Amino acid sequence: MKKVGVSILGLGVVGGGTYRILESHREFFRATQNIDVTVECVLEPNAEKTGALGVPAEKVASNIAEIVANPDVNIIVETIGGVGVAREYVLAALNAGKTVVTSNKELYCKFSHELEHTAKRQNAGLFFEATCVGGVPIVRTLLDGLQANKISSFMGIINGTTNFILTEMAKGTSYADALAEAKKLGYTEADPSADVDGLDASYKLSILSSLAFHTKVPLSKVFREGISSVSVEDIRHGAELGYVLKLLAVGKQTEEGIEVRVHPAFLRKEHPLAAVNGCFNAVYLKGDAAGDMMMYGRGAGDLPTASAIVSDIIYAATHSEYRYSTFKNTEKEEKGVTFIDDFSSAYYVRLSVEDRSGMLAKIGSVLGKAGISINEVVQCGADEENRATVVLVTHETHEYAIRNAVSKLEASIAKVKSVLRVAL
């Protein structure tokens, strides 16, 4: 039976979950995978964390050099996070010929070219299933399950924190209260900006779109907009029109080029992604051979993410040859690859206008001159300032066209309260 020695760098939420699975499932892996996986050592300076997990003192390493020099360590798991020490440690491991498994989406998104180059040079494995969508095996699906397909598009709910917040707001909870509850439940860090500003989802979208479209999609090419300006009022108006609001990550490959964007968007209630609530995640894919499909599961947490890490450990231990990117993995996009920033969408627009006759006609005129047609429109009653709320949903148009029209509306007719995209 093959013996596999593992070292875990960092015993936080995910690292701790990885340790627990490896310790509790050792006999299960022996019986089902014919491998004996042992945790040879960990790197964790916090004695409370190692003590809580019952890590023997002799298995707590003092530095990364000690770990990479250990001949019994075959696979090193990085769950530290960030791009400082984590990058240094991962490069040290790869340079020593050790296979690396990481859950660090920021590190992999920004430096996969450097890590992969080092791994290739040293004939080491580099695995990153846990960087995207928690316990949902989306990376393995793209690499090993959908090779027969040209993926034309995908969109997903790939950040559990924002999905939880928007789910609570749909119940009438304010953004501030929903965010506070997410913090209380441990769904977000003390500084939630990476989640609510869409950065976490952008890291993941960069990784997934590179895999799906077989070309490097740098983070700099991802359009990003977070959820901090979303209001309960907009969610309510959207629900009345038959929509659900989600933070979507969208990737498309067309003859014109690639578009990648993260932003709040309304979905029709009938769409499969509309039913994905709480901290759950899902990715909806379109392949030319397989057609439409959706993968769904928990997008965060100790054991779901640790499940992805352990899956990579077992895959690495049971495969003698390592595979790398199907594209030229460089820091920037390849020459000749076009990225689209003037993407097309339908749009939800909420306006505040004077409550007098002819206003809807004026709004329609401005939009019409911009080449934008209205699909749905609702006018609500006047407030104490004799201003009415107008909510409209456009037919498909372009991003630059709606921005231009909104600026003209604000200059002459209405106060634009919000503009949100509607997924097609």
Catalytic residue among 98, 204, 221, 246: 204
Rounded to whole angstroms, the Cα distance separating 120 from 136 reads 27
Rounded to whole angstroms, the Cα distance separating 252 from 261 reads 9
Rounded to whole angstroms, the Cα distance separating 277 from 279 reads 6
Is 150 designated active site?
A: no
Task: Report the Cα 86 to chain-centroid distance in Å.
Answer: 20
Structural contact between residues 311 and 137, judged by C-beta atoms closer than 8 angstroms:
yes
Ranges of H-type helices in 319-398? 359-369
Rounded to whole angstroms, the Cα distance separating 308 from 17 reads 11
261 - beta bridge partners?
223, 250
Instruction: Output the CA torsion 264→270→271→276 (10° steps).
Output: 70
11 closest CA partner among 50, 40, 39: 50
**238 Cβ contact partners less than 8 Å away, ≥ 6 residues apart:** 244, 245, 266, 348, 420
Active site residue ranges? 204
